[in-house]
């Protein structure tokens, strides 16, 4: 993903341009005195349900309590 940086002082004058860049897939880092303060990313679904159906499988004991050795660090 391409990235561009813009100072917070420039945002009011360049808002339409910055939003257009983000919409097109460019990550926009907003800085203040060269310190990153925010990141604008293109909006989209974070996950797509059913995309990899069957890729994750759990065992029958998935939600059973963990053994004491797990908590104490003993073998």
pLDDT of res. 44? 79
Instruction: Give dist(CA 70, CA 64) in Å, integer.
Output: 13
| Residue ranges per structural domain of the chain | 1-42
Give the global pTM: 0.58
The token duo for 13 is 């004058």
pLDDT in tens, 8-64: 999 999 999 999 999 998 999 999 999 999 999 888 777 777 888 888 888 999 999
Q: What per-residue confidence (pLDDT) applies to 21?
A: 93
Distance between CA atoms of residues 30 and 41, nearest Å: 11
Fold of domain 1-42:
YefM-like fold (3.40.1620)
Pull the structure tokens for residue 10: 């420039």
């Amino acid at each position: 993903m391409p990235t561009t940086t813009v100072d917070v002082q420039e945002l009011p004058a360049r808002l339409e341009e910055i939003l257009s860049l983000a919409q097109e897939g460019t990550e926009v880092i907003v800085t203040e005195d060269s310190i990153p303060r925010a990141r604008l990313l293109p909006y989209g679904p974070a996950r797509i349900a059913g995309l990899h159906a069957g890729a994750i499988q759990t065992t029958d004991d998935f939600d059973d309590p963990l053994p004491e050795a797990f908590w104490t660090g003993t073998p």
